[in-house]
Structure 1
């Protein structure tokens, strides 16, 4: 007859320290799980308090409020007759743990602490938590008195244990444990645990979904069993966007896929699975049976409750083909959802963007347009929370958005800040793109402000700086460029604060930055110019990916203005025009191409290479294009530029994290910002290697001639 179980997993848009909102979303997910017939509900990591509490985890308030929310969950009728698995911090013997609290019918069954903490890249879990290092061991945990009164329990089991129901056995993993080389699910599967769950706080990076899905699929391919993964969704108040992707796998097949990007605050995914399929799958693998016969058993917390049904008319969920987004779709959706969370939770009235007509600012504009498109789509599909949020943002309780362009005009202001160095073509491209996306567009000229500031300098010093084209030095040329860039930042914030006031509308706007990850790596922007903003949706995206994204928007949204924007060479337009034409290009200014920059960034951050190691790698990779001397010059130029400009990373606008070679100094890339930019020792090693390679080549040439 079979033993069919229905399990539920969730993607929740939780918010750090929003205990009331987080509680409401958890209850909603449990109610939806019950409605869908589930007898077990899994939620994301630290869902009660929010994952991004950071140093708030040190505060006793965070622990107290988490238990207060747990008490509300325990006493709610919504949580009856379903095993609920929620995440929160717990202090045990004065040690803080990242835990799962599993309960049923006002009784806590198990508190399971995280055993492998995420402590690289964007994660600092070891700063706030301690991993549980006692494998397969448990202790007694004395519950707070407020919980004791509700449950009638003085102590509960705390540690590395599993839940044994009348018909199956359930084990827990927490996020990083899935990625660890010695994942607990291996030993759990060998010990007969048929259902393994994973509550995650896993963020979005371009092209990362493939890795996550492959990991989940592989957990049950070799060992059999059911694997249930929940994940956070939304920005949670930080640079990361948690992208959902809840999923359920059985015996190597994905049977349920949640959405990766969504404006839904709560998504519940269920699957019905036959435990007999697990038994038969495992029994056929003789090597697994041999290993299982020798495994050390887990402590089992027994519960008088069954997950399964013997209803022969219930069909198990069938395997599905996972649908992956292209990188261009990910850029269109991920940063758009992140912007929506920031806008609605910051209680601002929209966005302000200095729109230059280049690829970067145009990409940012397209992401905002994509956000508006997603909002309209969700409202049309009946998402009441999105409708309530958009009505509050536009300050109109009767408003219902119908069209992305019309909504864009209400919440998005773009501004072309012209100077005497601006070309007519970029002005036209910016204006046309603004028309096509529907933004409220402003055009102004900054020359008066620039001349006033330079005039003050001249009045004080008696000197008149000149552009290089007019005979000035490099120092003069750079200073005059920076004045223009910084004036634009001042005007951007002034307009963001008051432009709605001039139109008789309430509120202010969030200023958007548009420096890409490659320019940040190279430091090719002016500190405190219009790249300085409130948030930056493209700060973690490479120029190469943005070019592809522009083409995607051209085809998907029919924004024909992007055709000429994509074809134009990137330029800052801060130096005088020559015969009305742009004389300055980004790649010429930087002394390297954007493609080369991406290579340097990946080798520096992901491969963890210094100047010498990078040269040794590239002298081989680029041997068909450049001589060792040329490669050495390129590597030296990059590291000089990187060292000189590293200080800019300390003031980098908070950016959407999308690329794992981001140079963001604030959280992700913890390196010095004062370097010896000459790199004397490192460059000397490179020079010695170049000399050895050249001598070897000369010797080989001589032997061939001889």
Structure 2
């Protein structure tokens, strides 16, 4: 080579932090620093707000959260693990009585800089300005006076607080926090033009189907034009809410990914490493236009540290670090298919929830339909991940599995067989009535056998009959189904009581099945309502969709079908084919020679159409009229304007009159951008003028005036 070899190894981390678990979070942070040092790292970057956990929400407003964060930081600073390495650590900090989301840069028991977040995430799942204030003084820093517990360790009274960068003996690095990468004018641009060569990004970014591509492209773009090294660290796991933070820590150089961590993992600490040449960055930045812009850029305040991030000239590279230099130059980014994401993301979320709630397993009411089937297959996917981790010798996973299965402390049990492990912690039940078919009962039993769950099969007609008889005794009227001559009100009430009784029975069995099996503790009940049914309100309030948590509550029926088709082969489960072929039905009305209840017929629209309505309503922010105008173009070759108008009006009427059901939705894994999760992700009222008289009138007027293109399309076909 015609220039000095300046090799450096940096580490980004994915940590499975838990909100308010200060002891556990401290242990995971120290473990990550120890791993980094063991492998020769000079810079360690962790996820956003890693000391208290990202998802503390209104706990960030409590002084205790800030106090305990300082106490944890004091232990980190005092630890020998932090000597000889620069660490970038996240926590809330109160500066001049204002709470900031900060990165604290430390080295050799000193705080070099406290860098507050400048741009807040305030949409979708995020409400950061509810708890934090953005730093509104770019390229400025102030003195921050440290609490005494920190002064006792660092011997510092005050440290720089604000927007600055760290200048080492050999390079310069700057901090970017999560949302700042997603903003149009990101801090890495002015930092890079002022000579910053390394950018760290500490993130709390959640999983959503098909979202990772956007994040990867932004990380690549950050250094493609600018040049530089980008270190991205992310939270991984469920830290106490509906979100699963999907890790995927990455390192990019000059617009190319050179290292990537896993997106889904049961590990508490995961390391991403790459060895790169700083001279590659300097060579990339020799363009004349970039040089002219850099020469005229404003200066960033620099905090100097007498420490080098790079190795010395021609220093030997460790074997585990050599791949980035001696092996393949760049890394092919791994993207999971949506079906794989459904198999992995909710499964990891379920595992974290199960082990951290310290319960003994899950319970699912199996209906023989595709939704409860998908929920059960996701639980089985969790068992597969546990078995894989156990076979790798992951003692944390093994210890959690032993505890929840009731094994004694000296047990040698290893959950290496997913079906055997499922039989210990997963319980299913088919709750049949006279309206149930033999086919659904058979499918439920065969699925439980394929998965390995502890299965119960029962008929609940006596319970339903008792409720009908009680009503008749009190009122003198015994309600009848529609097919038996009853009214719509009677028909609906008889369907709803079956669904609600299943919820009551589910909780009774979840509490007592471990006792029946000679074990202690209870089970968590899993819901199985998909996002489309919730959006349309096609569920009974407080029925068996009411549960403790729901792994599919934000996944569309369309995606669930694709997932089941994938799992049929990936998990070697031929029984899943029968679920794909079955007509979706609630089986709450009597089956006759001329009538079999069908979900899509009851709803007046298909599940695919519901997905379209959901995206237009939430993602594209369309009301009834703009939904109609868009669909006239999208569906106009198949349906007439008046037919489209009727579908749009039906959807918004049913959505509006059932919106109150969203206030009681089971907390669900967030996976879809059009989730109707009330007052959390979807901030909309629940009392509507459900017939939208103004909006629907305008739709009807426009529909009547538009030409019918569907007839012309039919003729050309």
**TM-score w.r.t. length of structure 1:** 0.97
| Equivalent in 420, 436, 457 of residue 443 of structure 1 | 457
Question: Is contact 1:137–1:161 with CA below 8 Å preserved after alignment?
Answer: yes
Task: Please point out which of 693, 704, 708 is paired with 1:680.
Answer: 693
Is the CA contact (8 Å cut-off) linking 2:640 and 2:709 kept in structure 1?
no
Aligned match of 1:305: 307
The residue number in structure 1 matching 2:369 is: 358
Listed as ranges, the gaps of 5+ residues in structure 1 are: 702-706
Indicate if the aligned counterparts of 1:423 and 1:582 stay in contact, CA closer than 8 A. Answer: no
8 Å contact kept, 1:573–1:582: no
- Does 1:196 find its partner at 2:199? yes
Q: Deviations over 1:154-175 (max 9, x none)?
A: 1100000000000000100000
1:603 is aligned, of 590, 613, 616, to: 616
1:406 aligned residue: 420
1:556 is aligned to 2:570: yes
Aligned-residue offset at 1:691: 2.6
Counterpart-to-counterpart distance in 1, 2:494 and 2:290: 71
In the alignment, structure 1 residue 349 sits paired with structure 2 residue 351: no
User: How far apart, in 2, do the equivalents of 1:213 and 1:568 lie?
Assistant: 39
Aligned residue for 2:83?
80
Q: Which residue of 2 aligns with 1:521?
A: 535
Please say if 1:290 is aligned against 2:292. Answer: yes
* Cα distance, 1:311 vs structure 2: 4.6
Which one of the candidate residues 182, 186, 203 is aligned to 1:183? 186
By how many angstroms is 1:20 displaced?
A: 0.1
Runs of 4 or more above 3 Å deviation: none
Task: Give the CA RMSD over aligned residues.
Answer: 1.3
Instruction: Give the structure 1 partner of residue 466 of structure 2.
Output: 452
Aligned-partner Cα distance in 2 for 1:224–1:174? 19
Deviation at 1:149, TM superposition (A): 1.3
Question: Structure 1 residues 300 and 582, CA, compared in 2 at 3 Å: closer, same or farther?
Answer: farther
- Asked if the contact 1:17/1:50 (under 8 Å) is kept, the reply is yes
The yes-or-no answer on 1:18 pairing with 2:21 is yes
CA-to-aligned-CA distance 1:179-206 (integer Å, 9 cap, x gap):
0111101111111100000000000000
Q: Distance in 2 between matches of 1:53 and 1:654?
A: 17
Secondary structure at the aligned position of 2:706 is classed as helix
Q: Residues of 1 paired with 2:204 and 2:416: CA distance?
A: 34
Matches within 5 A, 1:270-285: 270-283=273-286, 285=287
**Aligned pair partner of 2:547 in 514, 526, 533:** 533
Which position in structure 2 is the counterpart of 1:651? 664
- Out of 441, 444, 448, the position equivalent to 1:434 is 448
Distance 1:582 1:190 in 2: 71
CA deviation after TM superposition for structure 1 residue 473, in Å: 1.3
Aligned-partner SS, 1:309: coil
**Deviation of the 1:697 alpha carbon:** 8.6
Query: In the alignment, what sits opposite 2:348?
Result: 337
Q: State the match for 1:115 in structure 2.
A: 118
2:681 partner SS: coil
The answer on whether the counterparts of 1:165 and 1:304 sit within 8 Å (CA) in structure 2 is yes
2:411 is aligned with 1:390: no
Q: Where does residue 240 of structure 1 map in the other structure?
A: 243
- Tell me the residue number matched to 2:150: 147
Aligned to 2:519, which of 500, 505, 530? 505
Q: Over residues 398-428 of structure 1, what are the superposed CA-to-partner deviations in whole Å (9 max), with x where a residue is unaligned?
A: 2211211100000000000000000000000
| 2:690 partner SS | coil
CA displacement, residues 22-58 of structure 1 (integer Å, 9 cap, x when unaligned): 0000000000000111000000000000001000011
**3-state DSSP class of the match of 1:406?**
helix
**Contact residue 625 and residue 699 of structure 2 kept, 8 A:** yes
How many Å separate the matches in 2 of 1:10 and 1:587?
46
Residues 535-576 of structure 1, C-alpha deviations (whole Å, 9 max, x = no match): 000001000000010011100111111111110010000000
Structure 1 residue 271: Cα displacement: 1.2
Does residue 212 of the first structure (1) align with residue 218 of the second (2)?
no
CA-to-partner distance for each residue in 1:325-351, whole Å, 9 max, x for gaps?
A: 111110000000000000000000000
Q: Say yes or no: does 1:620 pair with 2:633.
A: yes
Deviations 1:421-475 (A, max 9, x none): 0000000001001001100000011111111111111111111111111111111
CA distance in 2, matches of 1:213, 1:177: 15
Q: Is the 8 A contact 1:203 1:243 kept in 2?
A: yes
2:365–2:430 Cα contact (<8 Å) kept = yes
Equivalent-residue separation in structure 1 for 2:64 and 2:19 (angstroms): 13
Would you say 1:662 and 2:702 are equivalent positions? no
Whether the 8 Å contact between 1:204 and 1:243 is mirrored in structure 2 is yes
How many residues end up aligned between the 2 structures? 697
Structure 2: which 5+ runs fail to align? 713-717
Tell me the equivalent position of 2:715: none
Contact kept, 8 Å, 1:523 with 1:646, in 2: the verdict is: yes
Supply the distance in 2 between the matched residues of 1:404 and 1:311 (Cα, whole angstroms).
51
Range with bigger deviation, 331-340 or 551-560: 551-560
Q: Confirm or deny: 8 A CA contact 1:36 1:270 kept in the other structure.
A: no
What is the rounded CA distance, in whole Å, between the counterparts of 2:460 and 2:675 in structure 1? 32
Contact 1:97 1:132 in 2 (8 A): yes
1:692 to partner: Cα distance: 2.5
Give 3-state SS (helix, strand or coil) of 1:170's partner. strand
Cα offset, 1:666, TM superposition: 3.5
Question: Structure 1 472/135 Cα, relative in aligned 2: closer, same or farther at 3 Å?
Answer: same
- Following TM superposition, by how much is the alpha carbon of 1:482 offset from its aligned partner in structure 2, in angstroms? 0.1
Counterpart in 2 of 1:704? none
Structure-2 residue corresponding to 1:575:
589
Shift of 1:93: 0.5
Contact 2:636 2:709 in 1 (8 A): no
Q: CA deviation at 1:310?
A: 2.4
Partner SS, residue 308 of structure 1: coil
| Corresponding position: 1:544 with 2:547 | no
User: Where does 1:236-275 land on structure 2 (aligned, <5 Å)?
Assistant: 236-275=239-278
Contact 2:230–2:253 (Cα < 8 Å) also in 1: yes
* 1:482/1:526 contact within 8 Å kept: yes
- Could you report, residue by residue, the CA deviation over 1:365-390 in whole angstroms, capped at 9, with x for unpaired residues? 00000000000000100111000000
2:599 corresponding residue in structure 1: 586
Residue 655 of structure 2 corresponds to residue 642 of structure 1: yes
Structure 2 matches for 1:365-376, cutoff 5 A?
Answer: 365-376=376-387
Q: Deviation of residue 2 (structure 1)?
A: 2.1
Once residues 443 and 595 of structure 2 are traced to their aligned partners in structure 1, the CA distance between those partners, rounded to angstroms, is 15
Task: State the 1:395 CA deviation.
Answer: 1.1
Contact in 2 for aligned 1:80/1:106 (Cα 8 Å): yes
